[in-house]
Amino acid sequence: MMLKDFAKKPKRFVSGGRSCAGCAAPIIFRTVLAATDHPIVAGNATGCMEVTSSIYPFTSWNIPWIHNAFENVSPTISGAETAYRALKKRGKMKETVKFVAFGGDGGTYDIGLQSLSGALERGHDFLYVCYDNGAYMNTGNQRSSATPFGASTTTEPAGKVLQGKSLFRKNLTEIAVAHNIPYVAQASVSNIMDLYNKAKKAFEVEGPKFMVVFSPCTTLWKFKPDDTIHIAKLAVESRFWPLYEIENGKYKLSYKPSKDVPVEEFLKTQKRFVHLFRPENRNLIEKIQKHTDEEWEKLLKKCEE
Amino acid sequence: MFMSKMKPLTGAYASAEAMRQINPEVVAAYPITPSTPIVETFAKFVADGKVDTEMIRVESEHSSMSACVGASAAGVRVMTATSSAGLALMWEVLGVASGMRLPIIMSLANRALSGPINIHCDHSDAMGARDLSWIQIFSEDAQEAYENTLLAIRLAEHPDVLLPTMVCQDGFITSHGVQNVTIHDDDVVKKFIGERKPWKSLLNLNDPVTFGPLELTDYYFETKRQQEEAMMHAKKVFLEVGEELSKITGNNYGYFEEYQTEDAEAIIVAMNSTAGTAKATIDRMRKEGKKVGLLKIRLFRPFPYEEIGKALSKARTVGVLDRSASFGAHHPLFSEIRNSLYDIDSKPKIQSYLYGLGGKDIFEKDIEKVFDELLEGNTGPTKYIGLRE
Amino acid sequence: MDIQESMKIALENELKGKEMYEKFAERANNPVTKRTFEFLAEEEVKHIEAIRNFEESVQVTPEGPTSFEDIRSIFDQSIEHFDKQAKPESDDLEAHKLGMDLEQKSYELYKKFFEESTEENVKRFFEFLMKQENSHFVLIQKAYDFISDPEGFYAETEGRVMEG
């Protein structure tokens, strides 16, 4: 599968939606949806992609799709998946159908965490894809537990006394791994083939699968729309966003950067971090670098690298 | 001809029997007292292979209604059960279910809402959800809980209706009380229930549909107007389905039951199990020559204002028994009854009674006192039954 | 390092800064860059005076703005006459970058002196300079962000409504 072959795939998520120019999420969606030839039934949590893809009477979805509320795409898709199994059991359906739940970091890390955990624990055969843009972006950049340390959001802004998010982000990938599900992966919009292959692998495995994908937000991280992929690349190269997968509990590193790119290179590209570059805040950048290095070492050990 | 069986059952078990006969493809439920036995009984049916339902043992009520929405949107029959705080927790999703026009059936074992926390019977849970476009049916006893559930599924799935429906019964009093229940023949019921024919479905792969889009100011109101229309149809369809069901069961399913109201001077309006207590009281008082009667409401949403107005018009005084409060306003049932009487020329006097909150018992002697007050004809502000002042 | 030595280095640093800023102000192609560096050149003059006074054993920490908020009006005034349609000249952008660099280095220098000194009033003096350099950095940074993307600046301050 070459990148150009994507164009030949049926258009499950069509163009014309209202997402911002330069948004990474539609790229992620199209890549994931192309990773299986089986029909897909999808659902979204309330968020950027749900709102921009489904303003009545228009829809971007060329496949069956459901939106329920903010925190419950996991049980909603659980219900659809169970209905499918029930119909199959009663001999009323024969096709193989794949189920995908999409959620932003808002609907996944925070308000949707409980119901995600429930669905993973119950073993439903579905793939959960979280597009992580590091805040509640649909409503204008409020802080989520996925917001990186030091980032300025509207509910935890940088000011005179406080300097943006005061805590490091929650590691949801590890929480998913703790559910003992067959497949968990971390991917990025900058490494498209890696993302595609991971989604493909996920679709071929039975049971609950979880992926979190790095999804830069041009509008609210504040960078030029053309730079989306470049910034995602910097996140990966600086080890801020490692690419790895866990298959049946075994860790595997997907990509090892050959150069030492300081995390500062990534931070300086977005205005949400601009206050960190004041002389009085430089120590915070050092703190981020230290944390990034420590997490990277931990990951290398797990991957036996 | 019919192979009905009479068994001593609790209301919960009777509801589970209805679920067994319906054999929905999916049940997604979370335990909460006193609705838990409904789910537990059904789970045993599943474990024993009496049904081939797929059960989703969700981790919260919010998730149970969410899973119901997903499954119903996927075109299958879905049922659930809950009470009180469980209904409160799924409140947000109730609106999604009705907004998406999904015929989900819920058994609601009425229990008081928190704070303070209380596990006993009152109607505050159902009343809290009365504006969410769910059809609400109330049941006097286990037999009604069972039969109302069978009625509900045909009503909800009717193409002119397509609204989720909750069948209520008093928590503990009905759900845990053992009564003689006639369970109708499985095959007869199956024939009555028929098959769900979903208009649209997530699993209809050739006709992909977007469920739950964002509607802005240009479409939301119009969609809601359609829901109102569906509720109006539900009123008509309720009677139609009820008539069909009565051919099987021999019972009647009107919007309400009139018990000795033809010449009654004082009529009590009540819902659920208190109706039974009232009937016993009426029987005794009638022997003493007192002209008293009961109007027992079965269909609360959509509310049959016209018909109730007519039914109450000949009484001198009407006493409305509310088992839930609307703080700062007229209590829910009283408010509806008062509305029903507005267009009646010579309307009876009307008295509001609040009783039974948090499961406080109401006895025959309490109802007798109410009738005596009503016969005297003095009405005033809300009266409280059984309250220790 | 003794006090005299550190004062000498500080003075050299400030003189260098003043020269650089005066040059930038003169060559500036847009009003924001011009006003920013004019102001900063004036501030360096004040620093030079403060250091000389301190050396002549007046030993008093001068009063002055220590945060960006205190000098915000300079920024607000400077952006009023900026032509949003004009693309910023690379010289101007470079000037801002060099300015930030200098402020950063000055901050680090004064931080070092602050940490090394043991006398209370010397510590207070360098702390004052640290805060001022920090606020100068922020001023140059804000001006730089503005001229690179004036639309983005107004979008941020004027807010937007999202659907959600």
Q: How many H helices and E strands in chain B? A: 13, 16
Nearest to B231 by CA among B300, B280, B298: B300
Neighbour subunits, A (≥3 Cβ pairs < 8 A): B, C
Q: Three-state DSSP class for B148?
A: helix
Rg (CA), chain B: 21
- Give the C-alpha separation, B196 to B103, whole Å: 9
**Is A5 within the bounds of a domain?**
no
Distance CA B9, CA B144 (A): 12
Q: Which of residues 92-121 of A touch B (CB under 8 A)?
A: 93, 95, 97, 114-115, 117-118, 121
Considering only the beta carbons, identify the residue of C107, C134, C162 that sits closest to A138.
Answer: C162
A245 belongs to a structural domain: yes
Q: Is the peptide bond before C31 cis (omega within 30 degrees of 0)?
A: no
User: Three-class SS string for C114-137?
Assistant: HHHCCCHHHHHHHHHHHHHHHHHH
Number of other residues whose CB lies within 10 A of the CB of residue A304: 9
Domain coordinates in residue numbering, chain C: 3-145
Tally of CA atoms within 13 A in the half-sphere of B11 that contains its CB: 30
Residue A198 lies in a domain: yes
Three-point CA angle C103, C157, C34, nearest 5°: 40
d(CA C149, CA C163): 25
Q: Would you place residue C159 in the very low, low, confident or very high pLDDT band (cuts 50, 70, 90)?
A: low
Question: For chain A, what is the domain count?
Answer: 1
| Residue ranges, CATH 3.40.50.970, chain B | 5-181+190-249
CB B128 within 8 A of CB B94: no
B203 shares contact with chain A (CB less than 8 Å): yes
Residue-range definition of the domain harbouring residue A179 = 14-302
Q: Is A270 on the interface with B (CB under 8 A)?
A: no
Please, where are the H alpha helices in chain A?
25-33, 48-53, 73-89, 105, 113-122, 172-177, 192-204, 228-237, 263-267, 282-302
**Secondary structure of residue C143 in the 3-state scheme:** helix
CATH number of the C3-145 domain: 1.20.1260.10
What is the residue type of C31? P
In a domain, A291, yes or no: yes
pLDDT per residue as tens digits for the range A204-261: 999 999 999 999 999 999 999 999 999 999 999 999 999 999 999 999 999 999 999 9
pLDDT of C161 over the 80 cut: no
Residues 6+ apart with CB under 8 A from B139: B11, B145, B148, B167, B168, B169, B174, B272, B298
Angle at the Cα of B246 (from B240 to B250), degrees rounded to 5? 165
In the structure encoding, which two tokens stand for residue B318, read together? 């009407």
Count of CB pairs separated by less than 8 Å, A with B:
167
Distance, in Å, from the CA atom of A1 to the CA atom of A199, rounded to the nearest integer, reads 13
Relative orientation angle of helices B61-73 and B91-99, to the nearest 10 degrees: 10
Q: Is residue A1 part of a domain?
A: no
Q: Is residue A4 part of a domain?
A: no
SS3 A92: coil
* Three-point CA angle A117, A304, A149, nearest 5°: 55
Q: Per residue in A224-236, pLDDT tens?
A: 999 999 999 999 9
Is the confidence at residue A133, as pLDDT, over 60? yes
pLDDT tier for residue A305 given thresholds of 50, 70 and 90: confident
Whole-angstrom distance, CA of residue A27 vs CA of residue A14:
11
Q: Provide the pairing of β-strand A244-247 with A183-188.
A: antiparallel
**Computed from CA positions of residues B195, B198, B202, B205, in that sequence, does the dihedral angle turn out positive or negative?**
positive
List, by residue range, all CATH 3.40.50.920 domains of chain B: 256-384
CA–CA distance, A13 with A44 (Å, rounded to integer) = 13
In the predicted model, is pLDDT for residue C58 greater than 70?
Answer: no
In SS3 terms, C13-59 reads as: HHHHHHHHHHHHHHHCCCHHHHHHHHHHHHHHHHHHHHHHHHHCCCC
Q: In what order do the strands lie in the sheet with B105-110?
A: B54-56, B26-28, B78-82, B105-110, B165-170, B135-138, B299-301
CB atoms < 10 A from the CB of A298, how many?
Answer: 12
Domain containing A157 — which CATH number?
3.40.50.970
A140 touches chain C (CB under 8 A): yes
User: Which residue in the set B70, B76, B216 is minimally distant from A66, CB to CB?
Assistant: B70
> Which chain C residues touch A139 with a CB distance below 8 Å?
162, 164
Q: What angle do CA B223, B78, B175 make, to 5 degrees?
A: 110
Taking residues A258-275, report their average pLDDT.
Answer: 96
Is residue C162 predicted with pLDDT exceeding 80? no
pLDDT digits (tens, 9 = 90+) for A88-114: 999 999 999 999 999 999 999 999 999
User: Does A279 contact C69 at a Cβ distance shorter than 8 Å?
Assistant: no
Considering the domain boundaries, does residue A224 fall inside one? yes
B260-290 residue pLDDT tens: 999 999 999 999 999 999 999 999 999 999 9
CB proximity C148 to A under 8 Å:
no
Taking the mean position of all CA atoms in its chain, how far away is CA A163? 25
CB atoms within 10 A of CB B191: 10
pLDDT of residue B2: 55
Expressed in angstroms, the distance from the first to the final Cα of chain C is 59
**Chain A residues whose beta carbon lies within 8 Å of the beta carbon of residue C164:** 46-47, 51, 136, 138-139
User: Is residue A6 in a domain?
Assistant: no
Distance CA B280, CA B276 (A): 7
Nearest to A99 by CA among A188, A186, A206: A206
Spatial separation of the C-alpha atoms in residues B109 and B31, rounded to whole Å: 11
Q: Residue C13: what residue type?
A: N
Question: Tell me: the pLDDT tens digits for B130-139?
Answer: 999 999 999 9
Do C137 and C105 contact (CB within 8 A), yes or no? Answer: no
Confidence band, pLDDT 50/70/90 cuts, at residue C144: very high
For residues C82 and B181, which has the higher predicted lDDT (pLDDT)?
B181
- Contacting residues for A167 by C-beta, under 8 A, at least 6 apart: A149
Instruction: Name residues whose C-beta falls within 8 Å of residue B254's C-beta, 6 or more positions apart in sequence.
Output: B239, B242, B298
Comparing CA positions, the residue from B323, B299, B321, B296 lying closest to residue B311 is B296
- Shortest distance between the Cα of A166 and any Cα of chain B, in A, equals 31
CATH, range B256-384? 3.40.50.920
Contacts of C30 (CB under 8 A, 6+ apart): C82, C83, C86, C88, C89, C92, C147
Amino acid letter, B376: E
Mean pLDDT over the full length of chain A = 96
pLDDT digits (tens, 9 = 90+) for B48-91: 999 999 999 999 999 999 999 999 999 999 999 999 999 999 99
Q: Is the pLDDT of residue B1 over 60?
A: no
pLDDT surpasses 50 at B297: yes
Q: Return the structure tokens found at C68.
A: 């960006």
**Residues B293, B260: contact at Cβ < 8 Å?**
yes
3-state SS class at B267: strand
Q: How far apart are CA B303 and CA B301, in angstroms?
A: 5
Closest-CA residue of chain C to A223: C152
Min Cα separation A235/chain C (Å): 22
- CA distance linking residue A42 with residue A33, whole number of Å: 9
CATH topology of domain B5-181+190-249: Rossmann fold (3.40.50)
Kindly state whether A50 is in contact with chain B, defined as any CB-CB distance less than 8 angstroms.
Answer: yes
Contact present, A129 and A70 (Cβ < 8 Å): no
The letter for the amino acid at B364 is: E
A269 inside 8 A of chain C by CB: no
Residue C44 sits at the chain A interface (C-beta within 8 Å): no
Rounded CA-CA distance A94/A97 in Å is: 9
